[in-house]
Chains A and B, each alone.
Chain A
Amino acid sequence: MIRQDFNRIDPKRRNTVDYRKKQFADPSYKETQYPHSLSFYAAPPTADITLEQFEQWAIDRLHVLAELEACSFRNKSSAETALHMKPLLDKYLPLDTNSSSSQVFAQRQKDHYSHFILRLAFCSTKDMRQRFSRVETMLFRLRFNADDTRERNAFIGSLNLDWETVSDEEKRQYAAELMATVVSSFGKKTHQSIDDETFCKIDWMRVPDLVESRKVFLRAGKAYVPSKEQQSLVVTEFTARLEKALELTARARPDLDEDDRLSPILDHLSKSFVAPDSKYAGDSAIEGAEITARNIDNLAQHFPMCMSHTHRTLRRDGHLKHFGRLQYTLFLKGIGLSLDECLTFWRQGLKKKTEDEFNKEYRYNVRHVYGDVGGDSNRRGGGYSPFSCQKILTEHAPGAGEAHGCPYRHFNMESLAGLLQASGVNDRAVLQGVKEDKDKQKFHLACNRVFEHVHRNELKRAKDDGVMTAAQLEMIVHPNEYFKRSFLLKNMGKVSQSQRDGGGGDVKIEE
């Protein structure tokens, strides 16, 4: 389907494969071989597949990637993630070792093609590329750890990574030194003898982290990296190469858009790359909460920083720019504000607009968002879903005069500290923690840190009383979840038990 340079699709190519013809017509495009289950995806696919396969394989891979991303947002450990992902991988993207299955070729071909299709779908913006390479790296790491040791070593050997394997003789010479670097994190020796471990020798500057933390033996400028640490080396290399390749794909992508059969599929794929956590059921009216236009000012105390910033800006300026209105309307929809109340809210909030202007320019948009007007699919789907943190963090960074986005990401530290203090967060340790999170680009952590600080008394009480379920203590990755949890915590005792247990119309995280 896709030629070697991966930027041209033969417009006359058939939808089905004609192996014989292909083989003889162009011997350079001979069938790709897959000697290893793991892959750096160095060469693009060359054989033809059907359009149906093209789409289905991509969707299957996307499903896996989205779930992996969700695991990372929920701060799952690598063991928990592996456990969680196992059935999904078996279903959508199985990858057996050489000896264990007769399906290896088909599995690896699907893995190979789906990776390249998604490269095309996600190469257009920097944010998308970063996100894609992040999740693909997660997938690679997961598979790398799960792979059979012998096959993994064979794979590493095939990469030409410019490593020198430490000879047995040299291993014996530095046996004591090398032994000291192969211990588990519990301080227990993982090996009885140095013969059980393989080491590679590499310039120390290639593994700065391992050197700085004294996890490798160092001699004459070479680091002796044990196999368990080779993972980080291989993974780093994987990411570096993928990022480079994605840049190249991005430059070549416009040529591909000539093919009118692929563009819509790719377009659809890139739009549907929403993590499962970002779907938020709109019908989550909280019992006991008065969700009305006139009560929004009061409810704003439960808003996360992103929404309380939009709310304040609206109250201050009597206006919000397009993306601010969109982000905020969807959030309000998510907390259970009805369409009528929402229209009332905006009518009153957009102070500078006349009745006429409002009806002409704004009313329709709000109704559209609620699925009250628009195309068939919009109305059937109930309009748009509230934005997840992921979406707010990565799409449409706010420009001049715009008030949407995530303050933890899009504000500088000074403004962020100002906003937090204006919201009553004055604790030095918390502000310092937020700064560190921000510096490390852990915006979720910063937001959750503030949540925990603001609700520290209620959280303590809830934990002491045992009324919080485990799900309710997980990391918040959606502004509406923030609101819901905040409201329930602050109104503990006033809200019915079923709400707290996550029953009834609770926030539903789609699996």
Chain B
Amino acid sequence: MPHSVSPVTEASPPPAIEMDEPAVADTAQQPIGDDIAMTDAVAIADAPQAEEVVEDRDAEKGEKKETSGIKLEDLFTGDSDEDDEFPNAPAKKEAANSPNEPSSPSEFDFDPSELTASDPALLRSFYQRLFPWRYLFQWLNHSPTPTLDFEHREFVFTLPNEAWMRYQSYRSSDLLRKDVLRLMPTRIDIGPVYSTNPRERKMLQNVAGFRPLSKELCFDIDLTDYDDIRTCCDKANICNKCWQFMTMAVKVITAVLRDDFGFKHIMWVYSGRRGIHAWVSDRTARNMDDSKRRVIAGYLEVITGGAQSGKRVNLRRPLHPHLVRSLDILKGHFQEDVLEAQDPWRSSDRAEKLLQLLPDISLRDTLRKKWDSSPGRSSSSKWADIDAVAKTSAGKNFDAKALLEAKQDIVLEYTYPRLDINVSKKLNHLLKSPFVIHPGTGRVCVPIDTRKFEDFDPLSVPTLQSLIREIDAWVEPEVKAEKPVQDWEKTSLKPYIDYFRSYVNTLMKDERGVKVKRERDDEGDSMELW
């Protein structure tokens, strides 16, 4: 992320100074605590400057809008009446059906298939008629009525001209929706909940009064980090073969979060092109400070170093129970999705990489000879060769345990999730909102039901263009539904929004339980739970 601020790790030596340079003496009075903090302060000050400019521009707009006043009903529309989710849609529908309208086959004056994903008209229809504002609000608010969890939450918009607006915040889902329609951002990011309203941060006398308090624990996995082991695609391209790496990652990480850390509310979201994000919404997870987030990141981290750094998995034995479980999950995938589907060691230079990961020199030499004599031997065969050769030609001093451990490390190196760990470590890291449109692919960033993750096909995720066509093509059934049909229900976005809604309902229910329990504890058990 362009705005992720990482503390300066490398001290670039300042220019040498003269012996008599007074700077040394003058700055020598820094107390120790300040020294350390200062590095961070510098890093923060170095953060993109443009952002401030954009944000200033917006602050003015914000003020103007504030003076126009907020109607009380604006605060609650969309939150009290389920059918009022997309207030503009039914009106438009009505208009389209009225006899005065030209009997065009489309209710739009454009053909969606000819337009791109960033086309303002398409995007406006999407935000207006399909985007699940109400559930997004509930997801971030953890309650049906607005709380500070939502009101102090930062939204970040990327405008069509690439400008970036930080520190936007809203008192209701409808106000957020209206501002999005006004600004038409091509991308929406979600930041943390702050101690004060992000829009009012500059009115504070005390800078320390504005600090991030909570945010979902997030994970970001991107297929480009697998380029050294996937053979089917590279860079931004993906196919169903390499998508299996995401399936493996989701399984392993979900097990860690659920079984080990005890988190319940984990949502995976397709990032629209070649990756996935996870959002953990349990209250304890949201309230973790950076140090706690780093602990989880460290607990998960197995693959170290870059693609050029040799053996990237070096684990202590016996393996930690979570790694034993991960190996169990990954073993099958390794055979099918790596050895067979990716065939990563078919060529002899790629096979050399495998040989370098094996512990025994004579074993390596024997295997190298064998493979040189049968070019194009498959990775599955080569993997099987390792044990076969070790059994027949190993000397007395051959260390079978070392070989087994090396093979385990190799399985992990080729299957274990590769996380962009900085996203997880920082409480105030921004992450793209679910349900926005990826500007490159036009695909919606849909949440994925983990129970059916293996069936998920990123290439058939609905796109902005396809969705608008689907609304168009929808024919009202003979038997009318009792409730008016929402636009999103007419499209292939329906299963994703249904899933999101049920996920959010469970989250709110648990959150309510936590709250009631706490109140009850405060009152010394004098009140019944319900």
Asked if chains A and B come from one complex, the reply is yes
Complex Cα distance, B324 from A439, in Å, reads 36
Please provide the chain B residues from 30 to 84 with a CB less than 8 Å away from any CB of chain A in the complex: 30-32, 34-36, 38-39
Give, as a whole number of angstroms, the nearest-CB distance from B316 to chain A: 7
Whether the pair A403, B299 counts as a contact (CB closer than 8 A) is no
Collect the chain A residues with CB atoms within 8 Å of residue B259's CB.
219-220
Please provide the chain B residues from 4 to 30 with a CB less than 8 Å away from any CB of chain A in the complex: 10-11, 13-14, 16-25, 27-30
Tell yes or no: A11 within 8 A of B by CB. no
Give B272-297 as 1s and 0s: 1 = Cβ < 8 Å from A's Cβ atoms. Answer: 00000000000010001001101100
Tell yes or no: B530 within 8 A of A by CB. no
Tell yes or no: B3 within 8 A of A by CB. no
Which residue from chain A places its CB closest to the CB of B19 in the assembled complex?
A: A422
Give, as a whole number of angstroms, the nearest-CB distance from A24 to chain B: 41
Complex Cα distance, B28 from A439, in Å, reads 16
Tell yes or no: B87 within 8 A of A by CB. no
If A180-B319, A410-B32, A428-B13 touch, whether A212 touches B295 (CB-CB below 8 Å) is yes
Tell yes or no: A156 within 8 A of B by CB. no
Tell yes or no: B480 within 8 A of A by CB. no
Please provide the chain B residues from 135 to 193 with a CB less than 8 Å away from any CB of chain A in the complex: none
Whether the pair B292, A221 counts as a contact (CB closer than 8 A) is no
Collect the chain B residues with CB atoms within 8 Å of residue A411's CB.
24, 27-28, 30, 35
Complex Cα distance, B29 from A321, in Å, reads 14
Give, as a whole number of angstroms, the nearest-CB distance from B242 to chain A: 28
Tell yes or no: B261 within 8 A of A by CB. yes
Whether the pair B13, A421 counts as a contact (CB closer than 8 A) is yes
- The listed residue (B16, B284, B292, B316) touching A208 by CB distance below 8 A is B292
Please provide the chain A residues from 366 to 398 with a CB less than 8 Å away from any CB of chain B in the complex: 397-398
Complex Cα distance, B33 from A397, in Å, reads 13
Tell yes or no: B306 within 8 A of A by CB. no
Tell yes or no: B2 within 8 A of A by CB. no
Complex Cα distance, B11 from A421, in Å, reads 13
Give, as a whole number of angstroms, the nearest-CB distance from A34 to chain B: 37
Please provide the chain A residues from 204 to 263 with a CB less than 8 Å away from any CB of chain B in the complex: 204-205, 208, 211-214, 217-222
Collect the chain B residues with CB atoms within 8 Å of residue A222's CB.
262
Collect the chain A residues with CB atoms within 8 Å of residue B35's CB.
411-413, 438
Whether the pair A422, B28 counts as a contact (CB closer than 8 A) is no
Complex Cα distance, B21 from A313, in Å, reads 10
Tell yes or no: A316 within 8 A of B by CB. yes
Complex Cα distance, B298 from A208, in Å, reads 10
If A180-B319, A432-B11 touch, whether A407 touches B28 (CB-CB below 8 Å) is yes
Complex Cα distance, B25 from A434, in Å, reads 19
Give, as a whole number of angstroms, the nearest-CB distance from A110 to chain B: 36
Please provide the chain B residues from 254 to 278 with a CB less than 8 Å away from any CB of chain A in the complex: 259-263
Complex Cα distance, B405 from A187, in Å, reads 13
- The listed residue (B11, B29, B316) touching A398 by CB distance below 8 A is B29
Complex Cα distance, B264 from A277, in Å, reads 55
Complex Cα distance, B259 from A409, in Å, reads 44
Give, as a whole number of angstroms, the nearest-CB distance from B404 to chain A: 14
Whether the pair B261, A399 counts as a contact (CB closer than 8 A) is no
Tell yes or no: A466 within 8 A of B by CB. no
Tell yes or no: A418 within 8 A of B by CB. yes
Complex Cα distance, B21 from A214, in Å, reads 49
Whether the pair B292, A419 counts as a contact (CB closer than 8 A) is no
Tell yes or no: B322 within 8 A of A by CB. yes
Whether the pair B28, A415 counts as a contact (CB closer than 8 A) is yes
If A415-B23, A431-B11, A432-B11 touch, whether A180 touches B320 (CB-CB below 8 Å) is yes
Which residue from chain B places its CB closest to the CB of A423 in the assembled complex?
A: B19
Collect the chain B residues with CB atoms within 8 Å of residue A415's CB.
23-24, 27-28, 30
Tell yes or no: A501 within 8 A of B by CB. no
Please provide the chain A residues from 174 to 195 with a CB less than 8 Å away from any CB of chain B in the complex: 174, 176-177, 179-181, 183, 187
Whether the pair A401, B13 counts as a contact (CB closer than 8 A) is no
Complex Cα distance, B25 from A309, in Å, reads 9
Please provide the chain A residues from 131 to 185 with a CB less than 8 Å away from any CB of chain B in the complex: 174, 176-177, 179-181, 183
A221-B263, A413-B38, A426-B16 known; 7 new pairs, CB 8 Å cut-off, are A179-B318, A180-B321, A212-B294, A214-B299, A214-B320, A422-B16, A438-B35
A-B contact pairs, 26 of them (CB 8 A): A176-B324, A177-B321, A177-B324, A187-B317, A212-B299, A214-B316, A217-B320, A217-B321, A312-B20, A397-B31, A398-B29, A410-B30, A410-B32, A411-B24, A412-B27, A412-B28, A415-B24, A417-B11, A418-B14, A418-B16, A421-B16, A422-B17, A422-B21, A422-B24, A432-B10, A438-B35
